Amino acid sequence: MTEDRPEQSATLERTQERSREIERELTVSPGAFRLLTGDRPTGDLHIGHYFGSLANRVTIQDQGVATVIVIADYQVITDRDGVGPIRDRVYSLVADYLAAGLDPERTTIFTHSAVPALNQLMLPFLSLVTEAELHRNPTVKAELEATGGRAMSGLLLTYPVHQAADILFCKANLVPVGKDQVPHLEMCRVIARRFDERYGRANPAEPVFPAADALLSQSGALILGTDGTKMSKSKGNVIELKMTADETAKALKKAVTDSDRHITYDPVNRPEVSNLLTVAGLCLDKDPRVLADEIGDGGAGMLKKVVTEALNERLRVHRERRAAYAADPAYLESVLAGGNARANAIADATLTEVRTAMHMQY
């Protein structure tokens, strides 16, 4: 991410505070929330996704919150030329969602390309933001920089508006995201507010769109790759959910550590060792410092043994279920078809409200 400007960090602080408040409200009145979040189908999910978001989505679903998950296939082509093996990637996501415990009876899983009315919201929404606002978005800028000299596409520049359509088509008021998505959430709130100011219903107490809040992951425990740097498939430092126990053991055997035999949790000076402790800690529900003390002079060998066993045990059921789903493509297709049908019904109803508010009901 680019350097935070003062108003951005003020926004982040406010968002963090509100996010903590919501965590409390969620346990008291889960029925007051509709949650939307999603993923770009650019590859297979890995343990960073699992501990960073997937497990949490299941917890919130199980608390009784209406949950909608978007597989953001159009977002794949914001900063790359082709869609890649998108069909396989979409169904790979669906398999991991189901294996993790998202229940297609309660949770709507859909691809946004399959929902025309959602995409049509983009037109009125684009009228509500200025070109200067779009150019200011720090996450879009960072994504452009990461492409190494590509020209900005119209879709990359405007995708936060498209993402607002993902959120608002179902009137979601809660969006679990990482810190990098906070500027998009801010834009989504602006769009919702301006829509009602400009085109909204006669009664301002009954806005068409709610103001969506971000739910930031509180742990802040960012998992790194097996070499201690940011996870990235191209660097080969990722442990994917679909890997076997043996593949996981092999990947962890190659994990980078350091020459100090005595294991300590020290993320600043020993990022690689500390990252392995973090992963093991998440799997075992244990403080990584306590784990470090337990391993003590056991060295990197013992640390790797602990993390391998913990991770393979933690993912065992997920992987068994995932393999069963992956072997049944017809079922995965029926889950997505059902989710897309439900998303279309919701989007059609919202678009009708939008057209009515805009006096475009013919």
Give residues in contact with ligand TRP (CB under 6 A).
Answer: 36-40, 70, 72, 75, 163, 166-167, 175, 177
Q: Which is nearer to ligand TRP, 188 or 291 (CB)?
A: 188
Q: Which is nearer to ligand TRP, 143 or 348 (CB)?
A: 143
Cα atoms in the Cβ-side hemisphere of radius 13 Å centred on 143: 24
Q: Which is nearer to ligand TRP, 60 or 167 (CB)?
A: 167
Q: Which is nearer to ligand TRP, 181 or 312 (CB)?
A: 181
Q: Are 162 and 75 a contacting pair, CB within 8 Å?
A: yes
Q: Pick from 35, 38, 359, 346: which is nearest to 210 by CA?
A: 35
For 178, counting Cβ atoms within 10 Å of its Cβ (0-12 exposed, 13-18 middle, 19+ buried), the class is: middle
Residue least distant from ligand TRP (Cβ): 72
Q: What are phi and psi of 46, to 5 degrees?
A: -125, -175
* Least gap, CB of 112 to ligand TRP (angstroms): 7
* Least gap, CB of 223 to ligand TRP (angstroms): 15
* Least gap, CB of 356 to ligand TRP (angstroms): 25
* Least gap, CB of 178 to ligand TRP (angstroms): 7
* Least gap, CB of 163 to ligand TRP (angstroms): 4
Q: Which is nearer to ligand TRP, 128 or 291 (CB)?
A: 128
* Least gap, CB of 58 to ligand TRP (angstroms): 16
